[in-house]
């Protein structure tokens, strides 16, 4: 006879249980996504083909997935670094738009020698992204203004800047659509001859590895971890709290800006008004799935990149909208969160006591 059922927080969760719940949540989320896709008209027998074979196992599909992963790794790192110091950057798209504008500007205005032009574009993107996060950062650290609303709204401002340029000064005269002129060959990231896979991907992976060493092994990384986990202790220990938060948040903005630059110089080769869509949500999802671990970000970005690839083919072949990708991301995320709940808490059934 049961007296009552209670939730008990587990003292220490072994990694086996964590892995099992993670995989269980992932599996459940993907299964649920499949059900929805079938309901939306995708034949059940072609699900494996659409979601696995075409995305990860065919050469073209894999190239597309790897290419898509490059900016996703960068926005995932962007979210992870800011989250480490409890700065909720939900304006990733804003910084990404500014990075894209800055990179395109270097290309369109032919700034600097051609030999290093594309790297100047990357530097400009880094700087612009970092600059775009300065107002919320200053307002937060100086006056305690919530960064969530500020970063989010600055995303819209960034997007309006893009539209202003694309419908005005930078509109390509040879094109009916509001897009900028195409980047010249010197303004494109080198490709390795496999789809669009190129320096963008290499750059993103290299930065993720650097970020791992930075977070895990450097003094500033340890300071950032301490501040994120317990700001009061960090202050009482005499750590430079504001300086560390400032550095981490600027890095976060810079990486989002770089993502914009990588898209402009690596895949789109021009500034368009769609290239930044959905990167805020994807960045946060990837940062969360990776538990803000830079190496985990690479894996999670690869998985979400696969969803992008699958989404684009589902769109073409079954007339599903872009929202499907966001929907699947959402379902997987909620499944993982629910699974995590059960690895953190234990159901305890108390029996009526008889000695």
Partner 1 sequence: MPRRQRPALSLSHIDKAFGDKKVLDGAHFTVRWGEVHALLGENGAGKSTIMNVATGVYAADAGTIEVDEQEFPLRGPADAARAGIGMVHQHYRLVGSFTVAENMLLAAGKQVPGITGLRSAAAAIEAKGREVGLAVDATARIDTLSVAERQRVEILKVLILGARIVILDEPTAVLTDAESRAMLEFVRRLAAAGTAVVLITHKLREVLEHADRVTVMRQGKTVLADATTTGLDTSELARLMVGERTPPPPRAAIAPGPIRLKLDGFSVRRPDGTPGVEGIDIELRAGEILGIAGVGGNGQQPLADGLIGLAATAAGRLLIDGIDLGQAPVAARRRAGLRIIPSDRFASGLVGDLTIAENLCLTALDSPALNRGFLLRPGVMRQRAAAAIERFAIAGAAPGRISRLLSGGNAQKLILAREIDDHLSVLVAHSPTRGLDVKACDFVHDTIRASAARGAGCLLISEDLEEILTLSTRIAVICAGRITGELSMQEANAERIGMLMMGHV
State the nearest-atom distance from the C-beta of 14 to partner 1, in Å: 13
Closest separation in Å from C-beta 253 to partner 1: 21
Question: With binding defined as CB under 8 A, does residue 86 bind partner 1?
Answer: no
Q: Which stretch binds partner 1 (CB under 8 A): 5-13, 43-51, 96-104, 331-339?
A: 5-13
**Nearest-10 Cα torsion for 191, 121, 181, 317:** 50
Q: How far is the CB of 150 from partner 1 (least distance, A)?
A: 24
Residues numbered 176-215 forming contacts with partner 1, rule: CB under 8 A: 213
The number of residues that bind partner 1 (CB under 8 A) is: 31
Counting Cβ atoms within 10 Å, is residue 250 exposed (0-12), middle (13-18) or buried (19+)? buried
10 binds partner 1 (CB under 8 A): yes
Contacts of 143 (CB under 8 A, 6+ apart): none
Q: Closest approach of Cβ 215 to partner 1, in Å?
A: 12
Cα torsion 176, 128, 281, 160 to 10°: value is: -40
Shortest Å distance, C-beta 102 to partner 1: 27
Strands (E), 105-200: 191-194, 197-198
Whose Cβ is closer to partner 1: residue 242's or residue 321's? 242
Check binding of 80 to partner 1 (CB under 8 A).
no
Concatenate the DSSP letters of all residues of 254-272 into one string. HHHHHHHHHHIIIIISS--
Give the separation between CA 96 and CA 245, rounded to whole angstroms. 20
Sign of CA dihedral 243, 244, 249, 250: positive
Report which of 208, 206, 215, 211 is spatially closest to residue 85, judged by C-alpha positions. Answer: 215
Site for partner 1 in 334-353 (CB under 8 A): 350, 352-353
Strand partners, 348: 6
The residue (of 169 and 236) whose beta carbon lies closer to partner 1 is: 236
* Shortest separation between residue 4's beta carbon and partner 1, angstroms: 6
Q: Which string of x and - marks every residue 232-271 that binds partner 1 (by CB under 8 A)?
A: xxxxxxxxx-------------------------------
Ramachandran area for residue 317 (φ above 0: left; ψ -120 to 50: alpha; else beta): alpha
Which position among 218, 317, 323, 337 is part of the footprint of partner 1 (CB under 8 A)?
A: 218
**146 contributes a contact to partner 1 by CB under 8 A:** no
C-alpha span between 39 and 176 (Å, rounded):
37
Q: How far apart are CA 352 and CA 304, in angstroms?
A: 48
User: Minimal distance in Å, beta carbon 6 to partner 1?
Assistant: 7
3-class state of residue 350 by DSSP: strand
Of the pair 214, 308, the CB lying nearest partner 1 is at 214
Length of the chain as a residue count: 355
Return the number of the residue (222 or 299) whose C-beta is nearest partner 1: 222
Q: By C-beta, is 178 or 231 nearer to partner 1?
A: 231
In the complex with partner 1, the residue whose CB is nearer, 59 or 232, is: 232
Which helix (H) or strand (E) segment holds residue 30: the answer is: helix 15-39
Q: In angstroms, give the least distance from the CB of 226 to partner 1.
A: 5
Q: Which is nearer to partner 1, 193 or 351 (CB)?
A: 351
Chain contacts with partner 1 (rule: CB under 8 A): 3-4, 6, 8, 10-12, 213, 217-219, 222-223, 225-226, 229-230, 232-240, 350, 352-355
């Amino acid at each position: 006879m049961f007296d009552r059922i209670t939730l008990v927080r587990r003292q220490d969760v072994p990694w086996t249980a964590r892995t099992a719940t993670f995989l269980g949540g992932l599996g459940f989320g993907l299964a649920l996504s499949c059900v929805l896709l079938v309901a939306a008209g995708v034949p059940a027998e072609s699900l494996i083909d659409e979601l696995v074979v075409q995305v990860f196992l065919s050469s073209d599909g894999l190239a597309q997935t790897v290419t898509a992963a490059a900016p996703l790794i960068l926005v995932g790192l962007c979210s992870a670094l800011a989250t480490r110091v409890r700065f909720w950057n939900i304006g990733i798209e804003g910084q990404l738009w500014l990075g894209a504008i800055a990179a395109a500007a270097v290309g369109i205005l032919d700034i600097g020698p051609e030999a290093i032009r594309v790297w100047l574009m990357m530097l400009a993107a880094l700087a612009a992204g970092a600059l775009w996060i300065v107002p919320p950062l200053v307002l937060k650290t100086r006056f305690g203004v919530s960064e969530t609303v500020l970063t989010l709204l600055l995303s819209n401002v960034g997007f309006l800047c893009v539209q202003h340029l694309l419908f005005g000064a930078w509109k390509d005269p040879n094109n009916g659509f509001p897009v900028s002129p195409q980047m010249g060959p010197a303004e494109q990231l080198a490709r390795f001859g496999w789809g669009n896979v190129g320096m963008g991907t290499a750059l993103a992976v290299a930065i993720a590895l650097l970020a791992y060493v930075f977070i895990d092994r450097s003094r500033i990384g340890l300071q950032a971890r301490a501040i994120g986990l317990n700001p009061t202790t960090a202050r009482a220990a005499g750590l430079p709290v504001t300086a560390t938060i400032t550095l981490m948040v600027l890095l976060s903005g810079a990486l989002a800006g770089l993502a914009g630059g990588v898209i402009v110089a690596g895949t789109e080769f021009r500034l368009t008004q769609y290239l930044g869509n959905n990167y805020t949500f994807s960045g946060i999802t990837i940062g969360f799935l990776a538990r803000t671990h830079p190496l985990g970000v690479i894996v999670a970005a690869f998985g979400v990149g696969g969803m992008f690839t699958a989404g684009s083919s589902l769109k073409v072949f079954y007339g599903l909208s872009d929202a499907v990708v966001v929907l699947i991301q959402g379902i997987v995320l909620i499944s993982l969160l629910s699974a995590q709940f059960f690895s953190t808490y234990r159901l305890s059934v108390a029996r009526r006591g008889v000695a």
